[in-house]
Structure 1
Amino acid sequence: MNENLTLHPDGRTTLRMQRRLPHPPAKVWRAITEPQHLAHWFPAEVTIDGDRIGYGEGPDGRITEMNPPHVFAHTWQDDELRWEIHPDGEGSILTLTHTFPDRHGAASFASGWHTCILALLASLDGRSTAPYATVQPADFARIHEDYIAILGLDPVAAADDTAVRLERQLARPADEIWHLLHGGDATPGTPPPAAFTAPGVQPGPVTRTETGKLLEYDTPGGSVRWELAQGTGQGARLVITHSGADTSTVHAWRVHVAEVAATVAG
């Protein structure tokens, strides 16, 4: 599979994924546009009524292009999905472009679509398919971390002479991450657990904690704030803000965030 990201001036991001399927375009077209076939691999319960497309919950989307058996495009909340099918010998080239506002969620989207396309291929082959929800967390976490590397998702969202801010989608829920990092050992007035520090950062006492959500501590020149919030897909979004820092700390935090992600992925 070929994957890449495009960042747009308006802040939106497009994920492009492509795979060759050993099935003719007409058969692939039915699999991606007919609800009875979508039920075998798509991550939501789809209904289609005219140019409206429903996903079982949340607002309906709108079909923006339908050109059988080549192009099927539709919206899903704030996202845009475009499926293109091109003949390739006796098979097809399937290209998915997914445009969304959350760049840091790209690895979660890619992991999900990777899993779905495997189920799509199994369905086309006539093999049994496992629902998206049955994928084991450890397997999904490993795929997610692979896509972080493939897509080049650097966690540094901002860095200047007064602060460093890193944002990174993780592959586990916040409560599991908090436990793995020993967040429960943090108490105001005492040093933070080692997992919440980075080489070269001199941690002062913890100033605030919220279980599974937040940990703050002082440093000689400012403060460090860890936040675990709702992320894209099955995991939490980690945001680390180190105020009073400078750009020399970026590398240390980048390496440490990669180590945390590896610990979370298991």
Structure 2
Amino acid sequence: MNATAQELRTVVVERDFPHPPERLWRALTQPHRLDAWLMQNDFLPVAGHRFNFRADWGAVDCVVTEVKPQRTLAYTWSAYGLESIVTWTLEPSSSGTHLRMEQSGFRPDQEQAYQGAKFGWQKFFDALEQVLPREAA
């Protein structure tokens, strides 16, 4: 059974960081920096690039769909039957950068994945908050 667009759910996490967009962009797009707060990966910020994230629980297959340096990054996120899209949006602010992550495409029968993403992305943002101050400006 296919879910209609109205039935699909989205996880959104937003946070303000006291760092310029350039620093957050590096954390979102450089493999060794992604390793530090998200997962092991073979990411490249190039539309059409296929990559995966790897963790002790398994892997996520992804394809980069959009790259607007220091503004927007999007990729597919496919794992365990979940076919979703993760979109990062960076907005410069007076105090640094407002970062928004949206993961869309959770079907009604994917409650566990939906709840896991709500929990997991908060933890990833916490980890990102911890590693950013250690990055070279």
Same fold (TM over 0.5): yes
TM-score (norm: length of structure 1)? 0.42
Compare the two structures and name the one with the higher strand fraction. 2
Matches within 5 A, 1:90-169: 90-103=95-108, 104-105=111-112, 106-126=114-134
1:69 aligns with 2:70: yes
Aligned pair partner of 1:52 in 28, 50, 53:
50
Once residues 60 and 14 of structure 2 are traced to their aligned partners in structure 1, the CA distance between those partners, rounded to angstroms, is 28
Once residues 64 and 95 of structure 2 are traced to their aligned partners in structure 1, the CA distance between those partners, rounded to angstroms, is 28
- CA gap 1:24/1:110 in 2 versus in 1, 3 angstroms: same
TM-score (norm: length of structure 2)? 0.77
Which runs of 5 or more residues in structure 1 are unaligned?
1-6, 128-266
Once residues 82 and 76 of structure 1 are traced to their aligned partners in structure 2, the CA distance between those partners, rounded to angstroms, is 10
Of structures 1 and 2, the larger Rg is shown by 1
Once residues 17 and 103 of structure 2 are traced to their aligned partners in structure 1, the CA distance between those partners, rounded to angstroms, is 19
CA RMSD of aligned residues (A): 2.1
Once residues 18 and 70 of structure 1 are traced to their aligned partners in structure 2, the CA distance between those partners, rounded to angstroms, is 14
Percent identity reads 25
Once residues 39 and 16 of structure 1 are traced to their aligned partners in structure 2, the CA distance between those partners, rounded to angstroms, is 22
Q: CA deviation at 1:85?
A: 0.4
Cα deviation per residue 1:145-177 (whole Å; 9 max; x = unaligned)? xxxxxxxxxxxxxxxxxxxxxxxxxxxxxxxxx
* 3-state DSSP of counterpart to 1:93: strand
Q: CA deviation at 1:21?
A: 0.6
Q: CA deviation at 1:90?
A: 3.9
Q: CA deviation at 1:122?
A: 0.6
Cα deviation per residue 1:68-91 (whole Å; 9 max; x = unaligned)? 011010011112100000000140
